[in-house]
Homo-oligomer: A and B are copies of this chain.
C-alpha cells in the first residue's frame, strides 16, 4: 500500500503559513512527522499560491528532500508547475495529475515524457466527473492507452476514480468501490489511488467514515491513497487491512508496528 501524506497543502492553515514564511524548519518537520507515521511519499500542493506557485513548489520539494528520503507527489493541475517540480525532484516523483481532457492530457504528457516519473490520471474528461462506473472505466482505458503509448508502464500509472462526498449522493461509495474493482480487473498491473477524505465531506465523524471507506476500498483493490498519516486511527486501519489482506506474512509488520506504538 502506497501511503501519500497530504499535510503539505496550502489549503491547510499550517502549511499555508509555513510556505508564506518560507519556514524551512517548519516544512521539514511537517514532512518528517508524516514519514515517521508511515507515509512513503509526501504530497506537495502549493496551488493557492497562484503567483508564486512555480518558485514555491521548487523550494518545497528541495527543502523536503533535504530531510526525508522519500519521493514527492507533485500536486498541481498546471503543467508549468509540474515541470518546475520535476526539474528539482530527486528520484522518481509521482505527478498529480492529468485528466482525459484533451488539452490538459497533451500538455501534461509533453512535460512528463521528458522525466522518469509516475503519474496520477483522474477519470474525468470534458464532460466532467462521470456519474457511473462504466464511464469511469471507459475514461481509465483512454488514459491508460494514451500514457502507455508514451512509454509509461502500467506500474507507473495511478488511476484515481474521483471520490465525491457521499452526502451529495448516497450511491457514490458503491460506485467508487465498483470502479476500483473493475478498473483493476480490466487493467491488471495498473494502480488505483484516491484522495480519501472527500468521501466524508459535510458529515459528522469524518475520520470514522474515512477509515471505514479506506478498509472497504482496500478490500476491492485500492493500493495507493492520499491521506493524513497523523490520523492514528486511520493508519491503524492501514496496518490492520494490510494484515487482513495477506500482505503481511506471519502478521510480522502488524506486530512490530504495534510494539513500536504506531497504533
Interface residues, chain A, with chain B CB atoms under 8 Å away? 166-167, 170-174, 177, 199, 203-205, 208-209, 212-213, 215-220, 236-237, 240-241, 243-246, 248-251, 254-255, 258, 263
Query: Do the beta carbons of A246 and B173 come within 8 Å of each other?
Result: yes
By a CB distance below 8 angstroms, the chain B residues around A177 are 219, 245
By a CB distance below 8 angstroms, the chain B residues around A249 are 170
Main secondary structure of the interface of A (DSSP, over half): helix
Copies of this chain assembled into the complex: 2
A248 to B170, CA, bound (A): 7
Given contacts A170-B249, A251-B166, A251-B170, contact A216 B244 (CB under 8 A): yes
Give the contacting residue for A205; candidates B236, B244, B245, B246; CB below 8 A: B236
Give the contacting residue for A170; candidates B173, B174, B199, B243; CB below 8 A: B243
By a CB distance below 8 angstroms, the chain B residues around A243 are 166, 170, 173, 209
By a CB distance below 8 angstroms, the chain B residues around A170 are 243, 246, 248-251
Please list the 3 inter-chain residue pairs (A to B) with the smallest Cβ-Cβ separation, ordered nearest first. A216-B219, A173-B244, A215-B215
